[in-house]
């Protein structure tokens, strides 16, 4: 079977646990924004390696995750990897890579339902988990 790839695609999917309680902020224009870190674990022989991934959610998605999740919540977040540059207070140029989340699923939510695909409106859209049973024996790296 031969595969033909036309063009390129920038898309990441991360399944892990939130590294802190979500805190939704608002821009000067009043848009809700949530910056969060997600921990993923992989085994390398007898060693477990934790990687951290930054993600940003906007407006309704930020508010849903902010209300429905807490530190340690298991989530799937998906979207393009974006790079943000800024100059800190000491004048040092900084760069940050983060997932600009356009789809997420709350995998251990208290409520049942589907994920968020950016098109659901009201009626509990994006507030559900439905990701299957939660493995309470999983080690959380924090």
C-alpha neighbours within 13 Å on the C-beta side of residue 19: 14
Specify whether the CB–CB gap between 115 and 106 falls below 8 A.
yes
pLDDT score for 141: 46
Q: Could you read off the pLDDT of 110-136 as tens digits, one per residue?
A: 544 444 444 333 333 343 333 333 334
Per-residue model confidence (pLDDT) at position 112 = 41
- Beta strands (DSSP E) in the chain are 12-18, 25-26, 32-44, 47-58, 74-79, 81-87, 93-100, 103-106
For position 1, what pLDDT does the model report?
A: 61
Q: What confidence score (pLDDT) does residue 139 get?
A: 45
- Domains of the chain by range and CATH? 12-106 (2.40.50.140)
Render pLDDT for 21-52 as a digit per residue (tens, 0 to 9): 999 999 999 999 999 999 999 998 999 999 99
């Amino acid at each position: 079977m031969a595969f033909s790839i036309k063009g390129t695609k920038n898309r990441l999917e991360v399944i892990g646990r939130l590294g802190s309680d979500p805190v939704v902020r608002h821009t000067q224009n009043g848009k809700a924004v949530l910056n969060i870190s997600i921990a993923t674990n992989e085994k390398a022989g007898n060693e477990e390696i934790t990687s951290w991934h930054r993600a940003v959610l906007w407006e309704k998605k930020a508010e849903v995750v902010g209300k429905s999740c807490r530190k340690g919540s298991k989530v799937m977040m998906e979207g393009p990897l974006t790079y943000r540059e800024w100059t800190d207070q000491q004048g040092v140029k900084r760069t940050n890579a983060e997932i600009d989340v356009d789809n997420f699923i709350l995998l251990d939510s208290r409520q049942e339902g589907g994920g968020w695909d950016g098109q659901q409106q009201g009626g509990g859209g994006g507030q559900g988990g439905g990701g299957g049973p939660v493995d309470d024996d999983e080690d959380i790296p924090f």
